[in-house]
Amino acid sequence: MNNRNVQNKMRVYHRYLGFFLAGIMAVYAVSGILMIFRNTDFLKKDYIEERTFEVGTKAEELGAKLRIKNFKIEKEEGNLVYFNGGNFNTETGLATYTKKELPYVLKKMTDMHKATSDRPLFFLNIFFGVSLLFFVISAFWMFLPKTSIFKKGLYFAAAGLVLALLVIFI
């Protein structure tokens, strides 16, 4: 197989894989941007949540059980314990609190983005990552190496790599 044939094949694979992944890339782009703001209330809605625990559950254990970050007991009045965003009845074991979550579709998108190996969607994440790596490699077959566009492309690729390394290590 000669170089021109390899170049044409890479261009074809690059093009059709790009079209195929366009929708997935859009979802990952939106969910990635949303994940930047996950420590804020940006686009999140309030939901009232109720959970019942065993009677005798200590208020100090509640933060871990409810998975509330920065859990803090604000005050205690009789059998009611008030904490940031809710209350807990030590007599009945009922915890009522406000939970902030993204709307359903946006939550599903961000859940897909951060899937781990114990979730079925992790195969999609691996496929997407490998596909992006293919895009990186196949981009260098889009133009002949002797052309000025290819040489300028190498400068831009090097600049992008340097910027990424600076952001990571500085």
Domain boundaries, the chain: 3-39+106-169, 45-101
Query: Which 3 state secondary structure label does DSSP give 91?
Result: coil
Nearest to 41 by CA among 3, 97, 98, 82: 98
pLDDT value of residue 121: 81
Q: Could you give the C-alpha distances from 69 to 5, 126, 144, in angstroms and in order?
A: 56, 30, 53
Whether the full predicted model's pTM is greater than 0.75, yes or no, is no
% pLDDT > 90, the chain: 55
Looking from the CA of 70 toward its CB, the CA atoms found within 13 Å total: 3
pLDDT value of residue 124: 87
| 63 touches 71 (CB < 8 A) | yes
**Is residue 161 predicted with pLDDT exceeding 90?**
yes
- Could you give the CA distance from residue 80 to residue 59 in angstroms, rounded to a whole number? 10
Q: What is the mean pLDDT of the chain?
A: 90
**Is residue 1 predicted with pLDDT exceeding 80?**
no
